[in-house]
């Protein structure tokens, strides 16, 4: 079952979505609950990259009214950024004070290795030791995987070193395996104004919807189709299905729609800025933060003649000595090189404009 609520009253709509859902069949009042938003960068949710604090507030109110007293918010921003800054600039410090909810920075958390099949993954202890994990992603595009939503949001539950290693492993399979190890209790998706170009935000599309359900695979499959992808086009969703972590939505899924009379009329079709620049990027096991910086820089330079430019990015270029342009510390062996982990888009622009 997927519950979708439309409208601009984010706190109320989140609360009502959970009331109409089957979450009470799984969460109990004596449980310790952890809420995992997406605070990938310290930017306001209106930019389309981070979870609205109002969504988390609606969840907190629902949990309190359900008798749940032990609640935490846990998160780790992407490599190269600061979770504490994200908590502050995204409005979560105010939320913490208002409801006396602790904010846990997983970058400072110990981790333990877990094995699943051929993979051994390091996962933060806070994410594993909770009784019930509520995953609160943003429905948005991603420059490498096409979509980032429920399943990929769990990357915030692993150490930075593991985030980097995921990209050397091909990103899709380890994300699917991560979802087999970290068990999501429930998903509440922020579909208010996600960026349908790439994950860092800046090109939000207002859709004013909250989605909720139990199964991250089926939810991601449904959301992939919302923005114009077949689920099989998103590798980690396809792998998740193969690992029996969930199933795709049937042609007539069980949907409960609230406030359908104010359902927004917006273009949810695929519109990925990153697609425009694939021919200019030689990528080898690049992290998302670096890749986004490149896409953002190229997007800022659109309209200029870039057909002769080829930039090289990713951990696969470590040790390479070659002519050309390298982006990020891993590609320092190219004769032109933009330092950083991740590099600043402004620095990339400075080199490309030469």
Residue with tokens 């273009």: 267
For the whole model, what pTM was predicted? Answer: 0.86
Tokens standing for 32? 């310790």
Give the orientation angle of helix 10-20 with respect to helix 53-65, to 10 degrees: 50
DSSP string covering 38-107: --SSS--GGGSSS--HHHHHHHHHHHHHTT--EEEEEE-PPTTS-HHHHHHHTTHHHHHHHHT--EEEGG
CA of residue 280 relative to chain centroid, distance: 25
9 — alpha (psi -120 to 50), left (phi > 0) or beta?
beta
Residue 72, C-beta contacts closer than 8 angstroms, at least 6 positions apart: 32, 33, 34, 35, 101, 102, 103, 104, 126, 130
CB contact at 8 A, 287 and 301: no
CB contact at 8 A, 153 and 220: no
Beta bridge partners of 313: 283, 327
CB contact at 8 A, 149 and 220: yes
- Work out the angle at residue 173's Cα, subtended by the Cα atoms of residues 168 and 175, and round it to the nearest 5 degrees: 90
Domains located in the chain, CATH noted: 2-262 (3.40.50.11440), 273-352 (no CATH)
Beta bridge partners of 209: 6, 191
**Residue of 183, 118, 198, 127 whose CA lies nearest to 159:** 127
Task: Per-residue pLDDT tens, the chain, 354 aa: give them.
Answer: 899 999 999 999 999 999 999 999 999 999 999 999 999 999 999 999 999 999 999 999 999 999 999 999 999 998 888 999 999 999 999 999 999 999 999 999 999 999 999 999 999 999 999 999 999 999 998 888 889 999 999 999 999 999 999 999 999 999 999 999 999 999 999 999 998 777 777 778 888 999 999 999 999 999 998 888 889 999 999 999 999 766 676 655 688 999 988 776 666 555 566 777 888 899 998 887 788 788 878 877 875 766 567 899 999 999 999 999 999 999 999 999 999 988 888 899 889 888
CB contact at 8 A, 274 and 280: no
CB contact at 8 A, 307 and 352: no
Residue with tokens 């320092």: 332
């Amino acid at each position: 079952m997927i519950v979708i609520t439309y409208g601009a009253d984010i706190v109320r709509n989140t609360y009502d979505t959970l009331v109409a859902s089957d979450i009470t069949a799984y969460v109990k009042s004596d449980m310790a609950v952890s809420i995992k938003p997406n605070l990938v960068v310290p930017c306001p949710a209106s930019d389309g990259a981070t979870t609205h604090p109002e969504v988390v507030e609606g969840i907190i109110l629902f949990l309190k009214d359900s008798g749940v007293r032990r609640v935490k918010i846990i998160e780790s921003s992407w490599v190269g950024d600061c979770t504490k800054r994200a908590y502050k600039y995204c409005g979560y410090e105010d939320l913490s004070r208002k409801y006396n909810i602790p904010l846990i920075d997983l970058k400072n958390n110990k981790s333990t290795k877990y094995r699943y099949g051929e993979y051994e993954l390091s996962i933060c202890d806070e994410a594993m030791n909770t009784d019930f994990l509520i995953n609160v992603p943003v429905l948005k595009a991603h420059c490498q995987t096409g979509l980032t939503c429920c399943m990929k949001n769990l990357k915030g539950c692993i150490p930075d070193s593991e985030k980097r290693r995921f990209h050397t492993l091909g990103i899709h399979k380890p994300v699917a395996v991560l979802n087999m190890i970290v068990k999501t209790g429930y998903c509440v998706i922020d579909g208010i104004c996600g960026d349908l170009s790439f994950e860092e935000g800046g090109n939000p599309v207002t859709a004013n919807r909250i989605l909720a359900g139990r199964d991250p695979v089926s939810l991601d499959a449904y959301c992939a189709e919302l923005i114009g992808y077949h689920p099989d086009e998103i590798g980690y969703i396809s792998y998740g299905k193969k690992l029996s972590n969930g199933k795709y939505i049937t042609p007539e899924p069980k949907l409960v729609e609230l406030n359908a009379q104010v359902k927004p009329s917006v273009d949810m079709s695929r519109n990925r800025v990153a697609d425009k620049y694939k021919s200019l990027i030689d990528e080898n096991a690049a992290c998302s933060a670096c890749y986004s910086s490149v896409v953002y820089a190229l997007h800022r330079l659109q309209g200029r003649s870039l057909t002769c430019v080829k930039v090289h990015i990713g951990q696969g270029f470590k040790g390479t000595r070659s002519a050309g342009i390298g982006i990020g510390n891993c590609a320092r062996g190219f004769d032109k090189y933009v330092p950083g982990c991740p590099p600043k888009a402004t620095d990339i622009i400075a080199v490309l404009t030469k």
